[in-house]
Amino acid sequence: MMLPVNTLVKERATGTVWRVLDEVSSTETKDITTTHFVLIELHTSGALPRFEGKLKTLSRIASDELVVIEEIVESINLMSLSSYDKELIERRWRLIQFTLRFRQRVWEQKFRGRLARRLADFGIFSKPFFYSTLRLYWQHGQTKEAVVTQMWRCGAPGVQRIAAEGAPKPGRPRSIQPGTGVAATEPHRRNMILAWASAPVGRDGRGLKKAWEWMLISRYPEHVRMLPRRDDTQRLEVENYDAVPTFEQFEYHWKHEHPFDVRQLKRMSQRRFELAFKPLLTGTLQEVRGPGTRYYIDATVLDVYAVSRFNPRRIVGRPTLYVVIDQFTRMVVGIYVGLEPPCWAGAMLAVWNCSVDKVAFCREYGIEITSDMWPTGYMPLHLMGDRGELKSEEADRLSAGFNIDVENATAYRGDAKGIVERMFRTLHAVFGPFLPGYIDKELAGRDAEPAVLRSAMTLEAITRAVINAVVIANTRVVRDYEGWPEVIADGVPFVPVSLWKWGVDNLRSDVRTFSDMHLKRHLWPKAQMTTTKRGLQLYRGLYYMGEELRRQSWFAQALHRKQLVDVVYHPLASGVAVALPSEARGPAHELSLVPRSRRLGGVSFSEVAALEFQKRRQNASAFWTNLPDQLSAYRDTIEDAARSRRLAERAKPRGETRAERTRDIRSNREEEINLMTSEVFLNTTGDDPTGNVVDADEQKSAPADEVTNRTADSVRRLLEARRRLPPPPTTSPTDPK
């Protein structure tokens, strides 16, 4: 075994640590039996080198009597030392260089003694300086840093020193404040502690001034007096400045007793403190092989209020934005904007958007781009989110459908996916100042108009603004990007779309593509449709049917059993849906709205729900508004029926039978028609009727004058009877009973 110079060995029994200074041999053959180690005890003030046989030392190490230990040396910056320290180090180093000229003879005790006496006799170095310098050099590693002064150990650093009673004030003398000051003795410190505990200082020290004043009044009444003022108030005056601590002393000891980290922990809690003051040692490109290796996903509530596109005066709240970003390129590969709160459906629709052709997607919102401005991201190998949506049981469906490694960040550790958290601020900074209804937290004041009152953007308009912001973010230069030398050598700027193209061409790309139907089946939200005669009903008023389902023979049986059909749908596109097969290996079928529901094809499901809710509110309001008129008409009908019943009872002859009552219904009907006709003629012309409307058989058998006179008499009797009737009451009639 070899023991290099400066190796430290420790005795197990006593704990003594020795340093190997040199290996010397008395012969030219360097036999192990004649070779010795020069050792010096490390932690003894008067230690000197001694010899020990190499064979003995190695045997003691083999028997575990000695153990080789590792030395921990603190690095010393010689250039940062004071001029006095530098001068002393150079003086010591000249002595060391002079001694090293004698090589192995310096290990001999007699030679060292003669050398020390000669240097002292000539007045170059004293014997104590000679031995102390060599001892420092040998014990601390035989380097120039070993002879550095140990002044930093003077004064018991780290040990609290409390001045004794009557001791002078430490530090430099006063030049501005009056008096000479007082040292912070134990009684003064006790008064300070009482002041900190009694007065509301606060975690950030805002009340230190008031606490200091409280201490002067309550703890030093003999040195403080109250002087009256003209307005019957009192003024505080300190009589002896050299008997009370100053505010600077009070503040200094408060900061010493309450360190910055402790105060911040009390203010911010443990997790917020770690998030704010944790050093960012690792980059964002660790364990990333290329584009598509790991995507980050997160959601935020946008700082802008949206309105309904059917009624701009109707505020629908703040939308939710989901963003999926690639770790390697910092490119936004998928988004989703909806009115739903953060949920699993929104997260999966954002993941589905990664595989959508971005040119066609932007064209749906009236934005024309090229594929180079926003490449299609497809599906990643790893997907990381927070402990929210991806913590649900549905994550197993995502992992099984696409073989994605779903990861969840630690709780309350948004910095684990800091690039997507920073992207929210970037997007807000792009479109925020230009949108009405944007919540500007920096410029909002008490007299400013609330942002909710300025809202005018629909969900579709906000989505267009987000898409434009994403296009800008994907084509900007990313600051502080940890790029590789190969990227710079190839002339690739640190732009997300350029990094994506370079990574696809030169590195391993882990993106994967799947069929459109496979993406819909595993990423769109699931629901159930009820089979009705109008079609498959997903929501009130939304009926679907597909060509394949219409041809199948199961529709009649499903209609009879009210069978439920599993489907997937897109919340922002109510016009399409996909029916999942009921069998294990059956195909999925595309569904579309039936003609009766196509009026709702261009609205989202949230808008359908809002319209349905608004319809029910309007109908309920109309019901209560029209109810008084309906009740009034209903009351008139009841009054007319009661009055007619009383008139019929009054005109009933005594002893009339049922047969007599129903005998001449047809002739009575004809006579009533004639009377009504005559009455109309009489009211129109003012003359007596001529009797043109009479019974044909009676007209044939009776003379014309007789028929005319009979009809005129009947009309006159009817009119006289109606004139004698009382007018209809204006209030509810009393019960005839």
Question: Tokens standing for 232?
Answer: 């019957």
Which pLDDT score, from 0 to 100, does residue 275 have?
66
Q: What is the chain's percent helix, strand, coil content, to nearest 5?
A: 45, 15, 40
- Dist. CA 363–CA 638, nearest whole Å: 64
DSSP designation for 685: H
What is the pTM for the complete model shown?
Answer: 0.62
Instruction: Give residue 691's pLDDT band: very low, low, confident or very high (50, 70, 90).
Output: very low
Give the sign of the dihedral formed by CA 142, CA 143, CA 149, CA 155. Answer: negative
With a cut of 80, say whether residue 514 has pLDDT above it: yes
The mean per-residue pLDDT over the stretch 611-619 comes to: 86
Q: How confident is the model over 498-510, as pLDDT tens digits?
A: 999 998 888 888 8
For Cα atoms 140, 142, 144, give the angle at the middle one, nearest 5 degrees: 95
- Report residue 152: phi and psi, to 5°: -65, -15
What average pLDDT does the structure give for the chain? 82
Contact partners, residue 153, CB within 8 Å, separation at least 6: none
Beta strands in 571-710 (DSSP E): 573-579, 589-593
Residue 526, Cβ neighbours under 10 Å: how many? 14
Q: Is the pLDDT score of 281 beyond 60? A: no
Nearest Cα to Cα of residue 737 among 658, 645, 638, 635: 645
Tell me the pairing of strands 405-408 and 382-385: parallel
Q: What is the pLDDT of residue 731?
A: 46
Digit-coded pLDDT (tens) for 680-690: 877 776 555 54
Band of the pLDDT at 117, cuts 50, 70, 90? very high
**No. of H helices and E strands in the chain?**
23, 21
Query: Which of 296-305, 435-444, 562-571 has maximum average pLDDT?
Result: 296-305
pLDDT at 134 over 90: yes
Question: Sign of the C-alpha dihedral, residues 582, 586, 589, 594?
Answer: negative
Burial label for 319, CB within 10 Å (0-12, 13-18, 19+), is buried
Whether 356 shows a pLDDT value over 60: the answer reads: yes
Per-residue pLDDT at 529 exceeds 50: yes
Q: Work out the percent of the chain whose per-residue pLDDT is above 90.
A: 27
Q: Where is pLDDT greater, at 534 or 279?
A: 534
* Position 610, amino acid: A
* Among 343, 342, 332, CA closest to 302: 342
The 10s digit of each residue's pLDDT in 536-558 is 888 777 888 887 777 766 677 67
DSSP 51: E
Find the range with the poorest average confidence among 72-76, 220-224, 565-569. 72-76
Whether 703 shows a pLDDT value over 60: the answer reads no
pLDDT digits (tens, 9 = 90+) for 192-212: 989 988 888 876 778 888 899
Residue 536 DSSP SS3: strand
Token readout for 209 is 């001034």
H or E element: which one contains 321? strand 320-326
Ranking 33-47, 177-191, 396-410 by mean pLDDT, the lowest is 396-410
Given a cut of 60, whether residue 694 has pLDDT beyond it is no
Distance CA 594, CA 549 (A): 13
With 50 as the cut, is the pLDDT of residue 737 above it?
no
- Candidates 144, 151, 5; CA nearest to 71 is 5
CA-based Rg of the chain, rounded to a whole angstrom? 51
What was the pLDDT predicted at 475?
A: 93
More confident site: 717 or 550:
550
Please name the residue that has the structure tokens 């052709």: 357
Identify the pLDDT of residue 118: 92
Neighbouring C-beta atoms of residue 465, cutoff 10 Å: 22
What kind and span of H or E run contains 298? strand 294-301
DSSP, collapsed to helix, strand or coil, labels residue 133 as helix
Determine the pLDDT at residue 712: 60
Q: Write out pLDDT tens, residues 427-458.
A: 988 888 889 989 887 766 666 788 888 899 99
Give tens-digit pLDDT for 465-495.
999 999 999 999 988 787 778 888 888 999 9
Query: 535 or 320, which is more confident?
Result: 320
Residues 730/643, Cβ–Cβ less than 8 Å? no
Contacts of 507 (CB under 8 A, 6+ apart): 289, 290, 291
Locate 452 and state its tokens: 């909710």
Read off the pLDDT band of 735 (50, 70, 90): very low
Looking at residue 85, its pLDDT comes to 86
Check residue 621 and give its pLDDT. Answer: 92
708 pLDDT band (50/70/90 cuts)? low
Question: What does the alpha-carbon distance between residue 501 and residue 36 come to, in Å, rounded to a whole number?
Answer: 67
Give residues with Cβ within 8 angstroms of 372, minimum separation 6: 497, 501
pLDDT at 413: 66
Round to whole Å and give the CA distance between 338 and 572. 8
Burial 257-271 (b: 16+ CB within 10 A, else e): eeeeeebbbeeeeee
Contacts of 208 (CB under 8 A, 6+ apart): 201, 247, 250, 251, 254
